[in-house]
Copies of this chain bind each other. A is one copy, B any other.
Amino acid sequence: MKIAIQGIRGAFHEAAALKHFGDTIEIVECDTFKSLCDTLKSSIADKALMAIENSIAGSILGNYTLIHEYGFYVIGEVYLNIKMNLMTIPGVAISDISVVESHPIALQQCQEYIHKNLNATCKESNDTAESARNLSLSSDTSKAIIASKICSELYNLEIKQEGIETHKQNFTRFLILGREDDKSLGNNKASLRLQLGNEVGSLANVLVAFKENEVNLTKIQSIPIIGAPYEYDFHIDVEWADYDRYQSALAEVETKTRALSLLGEYKKSSFELNQ
């Protein structure tokens, strides 16, 4: 099966794909989230994996827009505990490192370790895995990079220190996307997009409909719509034990919203702190 990811081999997207699908998949590298969507749409890949939120950085709202615009269906989710690892060309000593290169967010999340343990300046790159690949090609012995563990095997780098991120509770949630013919209903979790008026309590009415049917919210995020200051879009994820009661709740919610889109129904995934 061909899985489209954002980034190159070794990116955290690949780690998430391996966690979800196992290691028999073929990875299709995509530069941007938009090209990821084009790759899925044109059937170059069978499925796509797309980061949607990070516990430290927040949601990637633009990706919700892409899912909507391309008419994709959410067929699953995967949570990945983000572990940052310091790597060099094999044999390089930590004291020889004068530059550390990685994506700005990765560098930021490892500032504490860098300041305490290295005498090095930071250099920003577009992508953690790209830094790993470029280091491997350059054979630069004064440089270290920060990337996912799988980069050490892919690009023959030596891990000098595992898990150098400051906040250990750092995870990214990825959605598994399919084309319309992958649509399947059922399971125990759904992602919804709702449009509500800004009347006092419009959201409360919706949540009460879920509550009365024992449907639980696991995520809610409002999106301000400028130009329409009295309207709001919400991204909501819900879970249920009884599919029929979820269906009843959905029917009731539909009467209370201006617009309701189902992005997908899928099997919920669990958090684990060690990948």
Q: Which residues of B have CB within 8 Å of A43?
A: none
Take A124-B126, A214-B200 as given contacts and tell me if A55 and B219 are in contact as well, using a CB distance cutoff of 8 Å: no
Known: A201-B211, A203-B207. A61 touches B58 (CB 8 A): yes
Give the Cβ gap from A251 to chain B, nearest Cβ, in Å: 17
Cα distance, A207 to B256, chains bound together (Å): 15
Q: Of the candidates B81, B210, B215, B229, which one forms a contact with A271 in the assembled complex, judged by CB atoms under 8 Å apart?
A: B229
The A contact surface, by secondary structure, is mixed
User: Which of these binds chain B: A68-76, A91-99, A150-158, A220-228?
Assistant: A220-228
Measured CB to CB, the closest approach of chain B to A218, in angstroms, equals: 8
- The residue of chain B having its C-beta at the shortest distance from the C-beta of A58 within the complex is B61
Assess whether A223 is in contact with B55, with CB atoms less than 8 Å apart.
yes
Tell me whether A211 and B200 are in contact (CB under 8 A): yes
Contact between chains at B62 and A227 (CB < 8 Å): no
**Contact, CB under 8 Å: A58 / B55:** no
